[in-house]
Amino acid sequence: MPEQPYEPEGAIAGTGMGGAMDLGASEAATLERTPGGPEGTGPAGRPRSLWSDAWRDLRRNPVFLISAVVILFLVFISLWPSAIAPGSPLKCDLAKAQDGPGPGAPFGYDGQGCNVYTRTVYGARTSVTVGVLATLGVAVLGSVLGALAGYFGGTWDSILSRITDIFFAIPVVLGGLVLLSVVTSNTVWPVIGFMVLLGWPQIGRIARGSVITAKQNDYVQAARALGASDSRVLLRHIAPNAVAPVIVVATIALGTYIALEATLSYLGVGLKPPSVSWGIDISAASPYIRNAPHALLWPSGALAVTVLAFIMLGDAVRDALDPKLR
């Protein structure tokens, strides 16, 4: 049967990004009144959606606002570190080794005489780059595989589920020690590839469950009855309604990947000198913790604040995208 155009109406409407809710969530949203419009509509009379409600809640959430400000600042110094930290992070003077704060060096100097402030600022670029690229890779790969398994089921679902179980059984840090110890490239790509390789099963399992739930909705059954192809049903009607849990998990996981990169670099299998990384600086400052604690404090604090900001952002997004929490 040739594919028929499908435009849902009435109770089964909600196939686009603007209507990404199940029936229960839609009924809950319509009970709220938006100033400037009737119940269930926005100020211009447009139907309310999960995404518009989520954005409204996020703007009122102080946790989201604080984490967003911190993350925007991290992105800024990652793109333009020289704007607030003039000088090179690789320029060191052994005569100033382990010295405390001074002019041009508010964080003092490390064991090699490098400016701790400059290295801390430049280290944000590595962490943010690894975290963002690893999260994108994990989200894309896990979402595609999980969505296909959840939609088609059968043998494909069984095979993917068993592969997922195998990857879940691999300890992440131990796997990194084994796989990255044989890599000679001193770039972020091996670290990112390792995170994608071991990180996609979590997103895949979340995406699979979301697709299985979404494909039971009435509008999906109606689309199939009208002759919509599998690709159209999956991309137009199921994916927009199943993507919210993936976004939440990926946002929280971003902070985890930043911490994982620092851990692997600290252990000597991630990035290596002369690369600039918070994990490298923490590892180099550990032997001098008594004589120069400032060299360890600042990169450790920057790492902790960064991870906390992304976890707070993920928690705020989760609360906003879960209609049951409203």
Same domain, residue pair 55 and 66 = no
Does 55 reside within a domain? yes
d(CA 323, CA 46): 19
Same domain, 54 and 109: no
CA pair distance 157, 211, nearest whole angstrom? 12
Q: What crossing angle do the helices spanning 278-285 and 116-152 adopt, rounded to 10°?
A: 130
Question: Could you tell me the residue range of the domain that residue 33 belongs to?
Answer: 20-60
Q: Does residue 184 sit within a domain?
A: yes
Give pLDDT tens digits for 128-185: 999 999 999 999 999 999 999 888 888 888 988 889 889 888 888 888 898 898 888 8
Residue 15 lies in a domain: no
Determine, yes or no, domain membership for 8.
Answer: no
User: Does residue 73 sit in the same domain as residue 50?
Assistant: no
12 lies in some domain: no
If DSSP states are collapsed to H, E and C, what string results for 172-186?
A: HHHHHHHHHCCCCCC
Note whether residue 14 is domain-resident: no
Is residue 87 in some structural domain? yes
- Fill in the amino acid letter for 156: W
In three-state secondary structure terms, 277 is coil
- Is residue 137 within 8 Å of residue 192, measured between CB atoms? yes
Mean pLDDT, all residues of the chain: 82
Check if the beta carbon of residue 20 is closer than 8 Å to that of residue 32.
no
- Name the pTM for this structure: 0.79
Query: Cis omega before residue 274 (within 30°)?
Result: yes
Asked if 41 and 165 sit in the same domain, the reply is no
> Would residue 9 count as lying in a domain?
no
**Do both 166 and 27 map to the same domain?**
no
Which among 292, 304, 295, 294 is positioned nearest to 262, based on CA atoms? 304
Per-residue pLDDT tens over the stretch 69-96? 999 999 999 999 999 998 889 999 888 8
171 and 285 in a common domain:
yes
